[in-house]
Every structure is written in C-alpha cells, then in structure tokens.
C-alpha cells in the first residue's frame, strides 16, 4: 500500500533530484500542510480532507509556481475544509513565489483571495477586488431570493 510519503514523492521522479533533496522536499511540504506525522500511513486510511492536504503537499514538493485548485473543499466536512484552506493559504503566503488559481462556489472562501472573477456560463461577468465581488454576489442573491415569498 502506498504511504503518504511515497505519494508526495511520486511526482518528484521526473525532476532528477537527489534522494536527499526528495526527502527534504517531501518532509517540508508535508509539514507545511500539517501532515508530517502521517508520512508512513497508508493513503487509503486518510479522510477526504487529509487526502486533499497530501495532494497539496505533492504540488508544493514540486515547487510549482502556480496551484490550480478546482473545487478544493467540495465534499469535505467543516474541519477538513479549514485544514485545506489553511494549508493553501500558508503555502502561498510563506513562499511568496506561489500563486493559486482557486475555482469555488463557496462565497465564504473569497476572504482568502487577493482578487476574484465571477463567471456565468463560461463568461466573465465581473472582475475585481474581493469586496466588490462579494457585494455583487450578495445583491444578486438578494434579488433572486426576493422573488420568493418565504
């Protein structure tokens, strides 16, 4: 059974790194997402949120400059959502060299963004700072729910 450590190290095989460098990157990336103590656990024994954090660690270990995060917190309980969000935020903030493109339907996740784009049917409707996008979405929701008598 593959372990957390081997899962994170898998993508590093293409980078022609020394074994010491692989170990260092795996350790640092697992530590960054709060999963270092799980390094020898089989992947199959982890929760959904833990698996998401391991996946983020894999991207961090490869020293990617851009993280593409599509519906990162979908199907996760609140505890795991926060763990995953914190892992991404800490990773992006700590390095200063990593950008994250985050696709989400959760308005509450906007607070972690530097900017946002609201799209409908594949088209950009509005782009700007988080507070502008949040106000736009809240007005849109108010108009929508105003059509219903509760």
Q: Residue 74 is part of a domain; what is its CATH number? A: 3.40.50.300
CA-CA distance, 129 to 124, in Å (whole number)?
Answer: 14
CA-CA distance, 52 to 91, in Å (whole number)?
Answer: 14
CA-CA distance, 38 to 69, in Å (whole number)?
Answer: 23
* Domains: count for the chain: 2
- pLDDT of 20 strictly over 70: yes
Q: Helix, strand or coil for residue 85? A: helix
- pLDDT of 149 strictly over 70: no
Which residue range(s) make up the domain with 97?
A: 4-104
Residue 110, in any domain of the structure? no
pTM attached to this predicted model: 0.73
Residues 91 and 127 in one domain: no
The helix (H) or strand (E) run that includes residue 139 is: helix 130-146
CA-CA distance, 126 to 7, in Å (whole number)?
Answer: 39
- pLDDT of 150 strictly over 60: no
- The rounded percent of the chain whose pLDDT value lies above 70 is 97
First and final C-alpha spacing in the chain: 52
């Amino acid at each position: 059974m593959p372990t957390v450590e081997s899962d994170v190290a898998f993508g590093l095989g293409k980078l022609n790194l020394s074994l010491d460098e692989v170990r260092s990157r795996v350790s640092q990336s697992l530590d960054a997402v709060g999963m270092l103590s799980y390094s020898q656990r089989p992947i199959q024994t982890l929760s959904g949120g833990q698996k998401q954090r391991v996946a983020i660690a894999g991207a961090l270990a490869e020293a990617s400059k851009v993280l593409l995060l599509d519906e990162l917190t979908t199907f996760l309980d609140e505890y795991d959502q926060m763990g995953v969000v914190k892992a991404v935020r800490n990773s992006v903030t700590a390095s200063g060299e990593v950008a994250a493109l985050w696709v989400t339907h959760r308005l509450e996740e906007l607070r972690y963004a530097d900017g946002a784009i609201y799209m409908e049917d594949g088209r950009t409707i509005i782009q700007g700072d988080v507070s502008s996008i949040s106000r736009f979405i809240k007005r849109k929701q108010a108009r929508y729910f105003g059509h219903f008598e509760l």
